[in-house]
A and B are shown apart, each in its own frame.
Chain A
Amino acid sequence: MSDTTTDRRGDTFGFIRRNIREYGILFALIVIMAFFQVVTGGILFRPVNLTNLFLQNSHIVIMAVGMLLVIVAGHIDLSVGSVAAFVGALSALMIVRLGLPIPVVVVLSLAAGAVIGGIQGYWIAYWKIPSFIVTLAGMLVFRGLTMWILQGQSIGPFPREFQMIASGFIPDLFGPDKPNTLSLILGWGAALAILWLQIRGRKREEAVGIVDEPFAFFAAKNALIFLALVWMTWVLANFRGLPNVFMVMAVLVALYAFVSERTTIGRRIYAIGGNAKAAKLSGINSERVVFLTFMNMGMLAALAGIVVSARLNSATPKAGVGFELDVIAAVFIGGASMAGGVGTVIGAVVGAFIMGVMNNGMSILGIGIDYQQVIKGLVLMAAVIFDVSNKSKS
């Protein structure tokens, strides 16, 4: 019997080839950041700009983690931009017109998003209507409903507390002097925690002999991530501290990375996207999992809607136009496969930051929106071509 496999442990070259996508994306982000840092004359990493980078891209990251699950399950959600706008408008209505307390508004808005996602998920999961069609309809319906409830006008401004969701910074419990001590503790603590988890994980893998990654790679990758986090925290803490949305984002990314990699529901989503029939015959309730995936997406779109309207300090009929495309592009740049079953949360987040850094850097350089679109389109295409050629080679 022939063992026709290309896997060979301890083979560095083979390892790079198998994992080129995951390292490639990180490497691409670094190269793009370095490029813009140089051509903008150092503006990119100035504290104020770094802070802005997070503020401006938070909604994309928030939705990308949900979209990653949708795409891994073998589906797509085109409605997220409209849903974000609709929920933003809804929350504006509740705050400005009805004067409801902000925590209540947030909970109701997230619930509204979950219901919207659930309705779309119902048709997709239980009626087997293609998600492209259901969410295309949703995109039109919720854009229309947004215009309708806003009557073509903007609602705003919001109370300061609500604006703080998107543009506030975490308070410093240890006094007002710089650097912001709490930010430092949280940022550096997270950096240490990640490093510790990685080392512990590797030790466990070593113990059972399933280590695949050469040590040099492991060390270099983790050193890089650790130093980047430590440095970034330092820069932000010396400016105004960690933004609130940064905290939301960090928690969501950690949570969804955990869900996708370490939980049974995560496993089921990958199995459904990888081979729906095999998953079904393995006793996985695919309908429910797909339904929940869309419900979750709706909730995250709602959260993004809250963040965006809080940042703009108004809900407008045009909010969220084209978000879906940015989010989907981020997920695909991050290495997810249109066919489903492949992709990582971290990849999607890195994809979102690649888009974000390019937007930001090109705006600093004063490149027109026309060229920006062209360049972003080409980057997306290049990432996918890279994937496809990589796959056909192996």
Chain B
Amino acid sequence: MDAILEMRGITKEFPGVKALDNVNMAVRRGEIRALVGENGAGKSTLMKVLSGVYPHGSYQGEILYDGRPVANRSIRDSEEQGIVIIHQELALVPQMSIAENIFLGNEIATRGIIDRRETNRRTAELLAQVGLRESPETKVGSLGMGKQQLIEIAKALSKKVDLLILDEPTSSLNENDSDALLRLLAGFRDRGMTAILISHKLNEISQVCDSITVLRDGATVAHHDGMVEESRIIRDMVGRSMSDRYPSRQPKVGEVVMQVRDWTVADPARDGRLLVKGAGFDLRRGEVLGIAGLMGAGRTELAMSLFGRSMGDWKSGSVTLHGKPADLSTVPRAIRAGLAYVTEDRKSLGLVLDDTIRRNIPLANLAGISTRGVVDRQREGAVARDYRQRINIRSPSVESRTMNLSGGNQQKVVLAKWLFAEPEILILDEPTRGIDVGAKYEIYTIIRDLAAAGKSIIVISSEMPELLGITDRILVMNEGRLVGEMPTAEATQERIMQVIIRSGHDLTDETVTPEEIEAEAAHV
């Protein structure tokens, strides 16, 4: 086999987490290789190792490219060898023109003075190669996602790419743009380029890929030459065994507490795109309700828009609490109505990192530690020490700054903040992301105890075993819609994955026009 790339025994550790564990992968020259796996399986990390985002020396193992060992210290190094990565989040400057973007950092210039004519001529050539009919002078911001993706590819071509890595290139494209992109890739392959395609969409993979590598929990678990059945790939992706990683519980599910109907939220950044499309569900007393889905499915958007419309533009939908219409239009109102939202992004949305544990915990309920606007420091200290002990926040004292705590303990401080606000309904968004196994167990225990105390809990998680382990019922979300619902007792990872992938087949992810939003809003 003529391997263009061989990665041998790649191991990459982050503090407390082994993201990649002895990964092996060889790619043939001139093929399109699919790299699949669940969120957090290590796909992006592996590609960052390859492209020099994580420099040589920060990982173990060796990489052979064109048969020679490589030691990339930066993206620049890898690009010089012809390895180019296009990230899921496009790295284009919207205010600049196509030509300026393509040659950003790589300008055609003599002694610092840009040769605009040559730049435009070369850009026009590159645009012709990717089949994009736009002037090189056009501002990137005025173009749709499909065209922007093509510009990224043109940019890669300008760097004389031999191995192109695409991280979920079609995740924000509609059907037509996706097809065009995939055809383009196939065309490049026929002219000798090699590509690695990271994707969740198995139908796309079967369309263009020559072989598949499956990653799970940071290790290569399967390699298939040629296409295999979807169910086989899904089994490879999720096939871990459930062990006693979850505290046992006897659910006591009571009456319906919250009803959400026809919840629709638009993307303020992009006209006509909906983040959440007509979502509706019930939540019961003492219930732990899971929401499964891939990244970008709209789960956080749903949760944050319910919590005081903190994300997106609310278009339509209603919430009733205990059978009465509820006003959740601002965060203070949502808190007063008994909601709490524990963010997935504790550092930038959950904590005041410069402040101590004591000062962070009462932030959502300052009234609880003050009398007529004056903080009672005794009461504040007592509250902080109580929570520190109760949910086992490991720190020298409550006077420790939250920036000095480990991820798990930071998460517990955020949880404590919301527990002190005494909510009836807690929405936990990725409550165990980036924390170690021991702390996860403790968080699960807290969730169990809260449910036993009659609270209603929504858990959003990308880790399916976690949802299967701690919830009573699971909603499946994909592309802004709730596409499935099942009791946890009947759920398996395969079933959830199937629901997601089937819904991807059925729903054409067309760009919605403003008129359609209006129609949808009027439909209420």
Contacts and interface: CB of A to CB of B under 8 A. Distances in A.
B354 A274 contact: yes
B221 interface: no
A274 to B, nearest CB: 4
Q: Give 9 nearest A-B pairs by CB, closest first.
A: A274-B352, A5-B404, A282-B364, A264-B366, A282-B363, A283-B335, A283-B332, A283-B331, A275-B352
A301 to B, nearest CB: 24
Report the contact-size class of chain B (Cβ under 8 Å from the partner). Answer: 35 or more
A379 B363 CA distance: 36
Given A1-B394, A4-B404, A5-B405, A271 B332 contact: no
B400 A263 contact: no
Contacts of A267: 359, 362-363, 366, 375
Interface in A300-358: 341-342
Interface stretch (A51-59, A121-129, A142-150, A204-212): A204-212
Given A1-B394, A281-B331, A212 B406 contact: no
Interface string A273-296: 011011111111100000000000
A19 to B, nearest CB: 12
Interface string A245-285: 00000000000000000111111101100110111111111
Interface stretch (B30-38, B227-235, B241-249, B376-384): B376-384
A341 B378 contact: no
Interface of A: 1-9, 204, 208-210, 212, 262-268, 270-271, 274-275, 277-285, 341-342
A271 B359 CA distance: 9
Given A274-B353, A274-B355, A280-B310, 13 more contacts: A5-B401, A204-B377, A204-B378, A208-B385, A210-B381, A210-B398, A212-B399, A262-B377, A264-B373, A281-B331, A282-B363, A283-B332, A341-B354
A102 to B, nearest CB: 32
A324 to B, nearest CB: 26
A341 B352 contact: yes
18 contacts: A1-B436, A1-B439, A5-B395, A5-B404, A7-B397, A204-B377, A204-B378, A212-B399, A263-B373, A267-B366, A274-B353, A275-B352, A277-B348, A280-B310, A281-B310, A281-B341, A283-B331, A283-B332
Interface in B16-45: 16
A280 B308 CA distance: 10
Nearest to B16: A2
A7 B401 contact: yes
A151 to B, nearest CB: 45
B354 A7 contact: no
B226 interface: no
A282 B343 CA distance: 11
Contacts of A1: 16, 394, 406, 408-409, 436, 438-439
A378 to B, nearest CB: 28
Contacts of A278: 348-352, 363
A108 B433 CA distance: 56
Nearest to A339: B354
Contact of A270 (B331, B355, B396): B355
B396 A5 contact: yes
A282 to B, nearest CB: 4
B417 interface: yes
Contacts of B395: 3, 5, 7
B354 A265 contact: no
B329 interface: no
A148 to B, nearest CB: 39
Contacts of B406: 1-4
Contacts, number: 122
Contacts of A271: 352, 355, 363
Nearest to A266: B375
Contacts of A268: 366
Contacts of B350: 278, 281
Contact of A263 (B308, B374, B378, B436): B374
Interface in B294-339: 307-308, 310, 331-332, 334-335
Given A1-B439, A342-B354, A262 B374 contact: yes
Interface string B397-426: 111110011101100000001000100000
B367 interface: yes
A208 B399 contact: no
A212 B331 CA distance: 35
Contacts of B396: 3, 5, 7-9
Contacts of B331: 280-283
Contacts of B95: none
Contacts of A210: 358, 381, 397-399
A251 to B, nearest CB: 17
Nearest to B436: A1
B363 A262 contact: no
Contact of B343 (A6, A279, A281, A284): A281
Contact of B363 (A3, A4, A209, A279): A279
Contact of B397 (A4, A9, A270, A275): A9
B138 interface: no
B58 interface: no
A373 to B, nearest CB: 33
- Greatest chain B CB density within 10 A among A2, A204, A209, A278 is at A278
A388 B341 CA distance: 34
Contacts of A279: 352, 363
A282 B398 CA distance: 20
B370 interface: yes
A23 B74 CA distance: 43
A275 B353 contact: yes
Contacts of A285: 332
Contacts of B404: 4-7
Nearest to B392: A1
A3 B439 CA distance: 12
A235 B362 CA distance: 45
Contacts of B332: 283, 285
Contacts of A5: 395-396, 400-401, 404-405
Contacts of A7: 395-397, 399-401, 404
A283 B352 contact: no
Nearest to B336: A283
- Greatest chain A CB density within 10 A among B310, B352, B366, B370 is at B352
- Greatest chain A CB density within 10 A among B370, B382, B397 is at B397
B363 A264 contact: no
B417 A275 contact: no
B378 A270 contact: no
